[in-house]
Structure 1
Amino acid sequence: MRDSTDAGYRAPVRARVLVAVLALATMLATMLAVMVMAPATARAQPVEPPVLADAVAAGTLPPMAVRLPEAPRVVDLAAQGKRVGQPGGRLRTLMGREKDIRLITVYGYARLVGYTPDFTLRPDILRDITVEDGRIFTLHLRPGHRWSDGHPFTTEDFRYWWEDMANDPVISPSGPPPELMPHGAPPTVEVIDPLTIRYTWDQPNPLLLPALAGARPLELYRPAHYLRRFHARYTDPETLDRRVQENDARDWRALHYIKDRWYRNTNPERPSLDPWVNTTEPPAQRYVFRRNPYFHRVDPTGQQLPYVDDIVIDITDGKLVPAKASAGETDLQSRYLSFDNYTILKSAEGHAPIHVSLWREGQGSSVALFPNLTCSDPTWRGVLRQADFRRALSLAINRHEVNQVVFFGLGRESNNTMLPESPLSSPYLTTRYATFDPDRANALLDGLGYTARDHRGTRLLPDGRPMELIVEDDGESRPRLDTLRLIQDYWRAIGVRMYIRSFSREVLKRRVYAGSSIMVAAPGLNNGLATPEMPPTELVPVAQDMWQWAKWGQYHETRGEAGAPVDMAAAQRLLDLYGAWMRSTSRAEQAEIWTEILTLHVENQFTIGVVSGGKQPVVRATRLRNLPETALYNWDPGAQFGIHGLDTVFLAAPETVSDEAAAPADGAG
């Protein structure tokens, strides 16, 4: 990606060169569309993936030199500490629910732009993208790129989504997604030619690129050639009505939605740009994802990726996954495994053909406490809004003991903030009010006037009730529950009696949204690896799904129609800073804003982190190569296995496995 502020850039000269280049690209794309089933041209003729060789020989599939884009993305394996692989084979994994087949879209991580393992953004599906003034984004497609069914991928697919979906009042009653309306107004969209499209806003849009690179990304395009047949604008009413009835849909809008579920992988007929494409109609107990013969990436030798031909998902009881992984019934597994399974998994290495690694979680804290500053109880709301009260609770926690007892000393004792791997991290953010100091905690509570106690030594609230603080969680994490039981003792020592209640996640959400919950225990920041260019959304009251200020977030999301307005100075300052970040155009400015936001958080202890850097067990078959031995495991950014290049992993020949170390440290850690 390039920015117009690069030294030597001159827009008029570049524009003339761009027009000439695009004219040539368009001509090449047109020629390639005509010759799609013809023999390969003068381009190099790399070796076909063996599984596709028969189809190519029979003429039912074009040769690889025709299937690939004119300029495929060449994956630099050496830079990632990987080796050139061998194509073929079937990779098995286990899921506890059918809906989890969506994770193949996550793991495959084909995005318009995507993150590298060091969280740098770079073009992926796109050949290039240019950004001017932070508000003009010009997307350049790869000439000759095709959907999984062989149809050309062009800007018509972007136009269809923008005009016939995002701005169709039937399909999208609320209009385009918020990432395209950063300041309340949509962009001007120009389809320049079949390979170039431009989005222009009046003000900067720093949300766009991170959204495109997300684990569940913003989708700016659709397979127009496929979906038109389910759209009222392109299909006669009689035919469309017949299709609605055949698919048991409510109306054509529902039919279009059913046919378009790319992320969830529930329609095997829908063309895709992913490395693997679902071939199984749900419901099923086994799903088979087969390689996309038109996938746009190659290795340095010209071999088309992915290396693995098929990914097979077996649906099983999630509680059985650790045992099945220990028995070698999966080739790659992290889902449904937790740190407390590690000992059993590791002991199975000598009996099953598996290797077990521990990857580092990318959350701001493995366990965090969220005081609900918008709870409905007026007394508790007043108490929780006192910064010294929150600081006292944090200082009373013996994080070192929690780390040793619950996390075997492998975690980092820290606030809920950026991890050391983030350029925004600092020792100050990690340790402020996060050292064990019960004497100071008691002094802060005394200073707030909470000196009266009941016969058990529990401090009293302003209304005379004992300080009995109920902390709620979803009951899904044993390490979190063990941590809470230790915190019970720490807080009792300063006169705050804590009780633990568990609810299902959905019930817990409803309680928080309604203001019934006083405090919630959950994982901390989803993204503890942020860079200045990433939105600080998690740290600002702009969304309802934030445990510490759900009603403020709801008010922002609904533009004042529900929830409650921010009525706390420090939280209002966060909103002001977020507005400044949304208008920012330079990395330095964004970093300065991020730093103030993070400082406000640790000073105010809006959330109370305990231990970060938790470990995620990753089980892989000993045959599986090109997977890092250690790496960061994060949802967004990261897409879990996604940024580590699942399309580059391969299964070594059985006869070579015994000749190598059982667990070679492939890939970058």
Structure 2
Amino acid sequence: MISRRHTLALLASTLVPSRVFAAFQDSEFLRSGANGTSLPPVAERLPKSPRVVKLAESGKLPGRHGGTVRMMIGSQRDIRYAPIFSYSRLAGYDEHLELKPDILESFEIKEDRIFTFRLREGHKWSDGSDFTSDDFRYVWDDMFHNKKLYKGGVPASLKIGGKPPKFEALDRLTVRYSWDEANPDFMADIASPSPLRLMHPANYLKQFHVSYQTKEKLEELIKQQGVEDWVALHQKMSRTVRPENPDLPTLDAWRPRTAPPAGRFVFERNPYYHRVDENGLQLPYIDRIFMDVSAGDLVAAKTGTGESDLQVTNLDFADYTFLKNAEERYPLNVDLWKRIQGSRVVFFPNLNCKDEVWRNLWRDVRVRRALSLAINRREINKAAFFGLARESSNTILPESPLFKPEYREAWSAFDPSLANKLLDDAGLNRRGDEGERLLPDGRSARIIIETAGENTVEGDVLELVRDHWSEIGIKIFVRVSQRELLRRRVKGGDTIMTVAQGLDNGVPTADMSPKELAPTTDDQMHWPLWGLYHLSGGSDGKPSDLPEAIALSKLFAAWRSASSHEEREHIWHEMLSIYTDQVFTIGTVNATLQPVVHSSRMRNVPKDGLYGFDPMSYLGVYMPDTFWYDHA
């Protein structure tokens, strides 16, 4: 049965009449041949029924074509932000977090297990080749079922009860995925900032695939690209997370034109993009994006001297005063959006660490609660965020329909007396000569907290927490590691505790997956081996052996098989209650503020917004393809 939410999503596209304009309007950038190519007229480049974005209905201004946006990135790897900002998805969230068809003309969902996708007739990839069901078939047959490209076969995220779906290409424009059991987070997976990739440009990629290319030609291409074999070749040429191959056709608003290494990465408007505004102008409005590589710690300073037209990355609240003052000297607007993380800075005790003494202590809820109660969150809020954040555990925000105050307040009051009692009760009741507590094996209770050290906020909070925990007999020391090395240390059990950001999605609805609350991936710093066990289907990692973690896993499985919105909502609340009461992660403050800087001539950038990776895709749900320059 299709839920009301899915019915609305379906109608949002199918009720828009095709060819409702006297004439579609092209960009002068393309008409003049500024992109170096000769193109068919815009009406022949658009789908028969493009997606019509009605800006005036949402309080935005229909715009005009033209202009270049300068942005700065901290490294070449950060070109990954381009497809996240563009946020072109089969189906995606709008700024109200309602799911709508985007690349798809429509979708139909039955019993949360049968998903039928209808493509737009005449939709083309950025190179002008047809976008059809064969692009889905290629991924399913020639990638997922090729043991060299996908050693584990169909990705685990597509398996329910260990079983993959049935895939059908019903006709040239229709595909279907069917499971025996419900898969309620399938749509969220394809709408995410880093989506489950179900389609690739088959016509282009077949030249790099052993099933379609001659051995001699493959060897020539392998040598040309400097890779070891055809598998590495295919992976390199098909990479979409970081758009490093300018020749790879895309469905995004802007297509890459620069191959690394480079100091400036250029993205140009996609001539075959599928969206138009209510006046018939093909989107995006802006013709080009320049991503200039700069040292991450210099981005704020350069933004404040007018070197960026749109900047959100590598900025933090500490930069706000400097950036706001820059408005007096440069044509910039600096706004503050609310970050959606469950907590801005979170401490992750590693329940899977190799150190048996600490591992046993971390599995004692009294220890986790004690460390949380010993943190003076009000002091952190005032010192690091001018009192503008909210003291909270690592949990969801009031903007979520699932929010309850008791989740925010769970073990987050400042109560050093109770913290001391809980530690005494947990067996840490002996003290050394300097007042520090002694572990059961006689060592001093000293925690090495490991961090990637990528922002100053974490350092400021660590300094304050160092004093807070010292008052209850716990000493901390900080070790900074490069991010990838830190991840390996966490997964290897070499870390005792890490510090990072909290829940990615602090504004969930009941129909969004609660996977962050249960052991589901090896990226979760508090139980990486339990998460790996789930991710691998039991072939790697270790099964949870803590009753409350097991309960969360069972509830997550129940959510995935739930048949109604009400049932999913009930499960969400059960999981939030367990997660916050057990203090598996130790939050500090949330609802912190993020500077968003843009040219004062740029229109349709919200003054107030929610900022985060999932599900907002940072700028993505606010549709940067509708941002435009007003030169009046």
In the superposition, the TM-score normalised over structure 2's length comes to 0.94
Matched, 1:364 2:345: no
Residue type of the alignment partner of 2:92? G
Matched, 1:603 2:603: no
- Gapped runs of 5+ residues in structure 1? 15-20, 29-40, 657-669
Counterpart CA distance in 1 for 2:448 and 2:37 is 68
Structure-1 residue corresponding to 2:78? 100
- Residues 1:565 and 1:631: Cα distance change in structure 2 (over 3 Å): same
- Gapped runs of 5+ residues in structure 2? none
Tell me the CA shift for residue 6 of structure 1: 5.7
Mapped contact 2:91–2:191 kept (Cα < 8 A): yes
Q: 2:204 aligns with which of 226, 241, 247?
A: 226
Tell me the CA shift for residue 597 of structure 1: 0.8
Q: 1:140 aligns with which of 103, 118, 128?
A: 118
Matched, 1:612 2:590: yes
Q: How does 1:58-73 map to 2 (within 5 A)?
A: 60-73=38-51
Residue type of the alignment partner of 2:50? P
Matched, 1:276 2:274: no
Tell me the CA shift for residue 506 of structure 1: 2.3
Tell me the CA shift for residue 518 of structure 1: 1.6
Tell me the CA shift for residue 55 of structure 1: 5.0
Q: 2:387 aligns with which of 403, 409, 421?
A: 409
**For 2:587, what is the secondary structure of its paired residue?**
strand
Structure-1 residue corresponding to 2:297? 319
Structure-1 residue corresponding to 2:484? 506
Residue type of the alignment partner of 1:128? S
Tell me the CA shift for residue 561 of structure 1: 4.2
Counterpart CA distance in 2 for 1:142 and 1:283 is 36
Structure-2 residue corresponding to 1:467? 445
Counterpart CA distance in 1 for 2:427 and 2:142 is 61
Residue type of the alignment partner of 1:339? F
Structure-1 residue corresponding to 2:309? 331
Tell me the CA shift for residue 223 of structure 1: 0.9
Counterpart CA distance in 2 for 1:85 and 1:348 is 27
**For 1:143, what is the secondary structure of its paired residue?**
coil
Counterpart CA distance in 2 for 1:513 and 1:6 is 41
Q: 1:398 aligns with which of 368, 376, 390?
A: 376
Tell me the CA shift for residue 43 of structure 1: 6.7
Q: How does 1:129-528 map to 2 (within 5 A)?
A: 129-528=107-506
Q: 1:589 aligns with which of 553, 564, 567?
A: 567
- Residues 1:332 and 1:6: Cα distance change in structure 2 (over 3 Å): closer
Tell me the CA shift for residue 412 of structure 1: 0.8
Mapped contact 1:44–1:65 kept (Cα < 8 A): no
Counterpart CA distance in 1 for 2:214 and 2:443 is 68
Tell me the CA shift for residue 42 of structure 1: 10
When structure 1 is superposed on structure 2, of 450-459 and 86-95 the one drifting more is 450-459
- Residues 1:613 and 1:5: Cα distance change in structure 2 (over 3 Å): closer
Counterpart CA distance in 2 for 1:374 and 1:42 is 59
Structure-2 residue corresponding to 1:4? 2
Tell me the CA shift for residue 387 of structure 1: 0.9
Tell me the CA shift for residue 406 of structure 1: 1.1
Q: How does 1:43-58 map to 2 (within 5 A)?
A: 44-54=22-32
Tell me the CA shift for residue 617 of structure 1: 1.4
Tell me the CA shift for residue 458 of structure 1: 2.2
Counterpart CA distance in 2 for 1:122 and 1:250 is 41
C-alpha offsets along residues 262-311 of structure 1, whole Å, 9 cap, x if unaligned?
Answer: 33111111111111111123222222211111111111111110000111
Structure-2 residue corresponding to 1:128? 106
**For 1:290, what is the secondary structure of its paired residue?**
strand
Q: 1:623 aligns with which of 589, 601, 615?
A: 601
C-alpha offsets along residues 455-512 of structure 1, whole Å, 9 cap, x if unaligned?
Answer: 3222222223332222222222222121121112222222222232222222322222
- Residues 1:446 and 1:302: Cα distance change in structure 2 (over 3 Å): same
Q: How does 1:506-585 map to 2 (within 5 A)?
A: 506-585=484-563
Indicate the structure (1 or 2) with the bigger Cα radius of gyration.
Answer: 1
C-alpha offsets along residues 113-149 of structure 1, whole Å, 9 cap, x if unaligned?
Answer: 1011121111100011101011100001111111112
Mapped contact 2:451–2:480 kept (Cα < 8 A): yes
Q: 2:613 aligns with which of 624, 630, 635?
A: 635
Mapped contact 1:179–1:207 kept (Cα < 8 A): no
Mapped contact 1:87–1:307 kept (Cα < 8 A): yes
Structure-2 residue corresponding to 1:660? none
Counterpart CA distance in 1 for 2:416 and 2:235 is 56
Structure-2 residue corresponding to 1:661? none
Tell me the CA shift for residue 552 of structure 1: 1.8
Residue type of the alignment partner of 2:89? R
In the superposition, the TM-score normalised over structure 1's length comes to 0.89
Structure-2 residue corresponding to 1:666? none
Counterpart CA distance in 2 for 1:636 and 1:201 is 25
- Residues 1:84 and 1:6: Cα distance change in structure 2 (over 3 Å): closer
Counterpart CA distance in 1 for 2:203 and 2:608 is 42
When structure 1 is superposed on structure 2, of 552-561 and 515-524 the one drifting more is 552-561
Residue type of the alignment partner of 1:604? Q
When structure 1 is superposed on structure 2, of 486-495 and 626-635 the one drifting more is 486-495
Tell me the CA shift for residue 381 of structure 1: 1.6
Tell me the CA shift for residue 560 of structure 1: 4.0
Mapped contact 1:138–1:199 kept (Cα < 8 A): yes
- Residues 1:247 and 1:516: Cα distance change in structure 2 (over 3 Å): closer
- Residues 1:450 and 1:316: Cα distance change in structure 2 (over 3 Å): closer
Mapped contact 1:43–1:65 kept (Cα < 8 A): no
Mapped contact 1:45–1:64 kept (Cα < 8 A): no
Percent same amino acid at aligned positions? 44
C-alpha offsets along residues 591-636 of structure 1, whole Å, 9 cap, x if unaligned?
Answer: 1111111100111111111011122211111111110112111111
Between Structure 1 and Structure 2, how many residues are aligned? Answer: 623
Structure-2 residue corresponding to 1:35? none
When structure 1 is superposed on structure 2, of 283-292 and 58-67 the one drifting more is 58-67
**For 1:609, what is the secondary structure of its paired residue?**
coil
Counterpart CA distance in 1 for 2:363 and 2:124 is 55
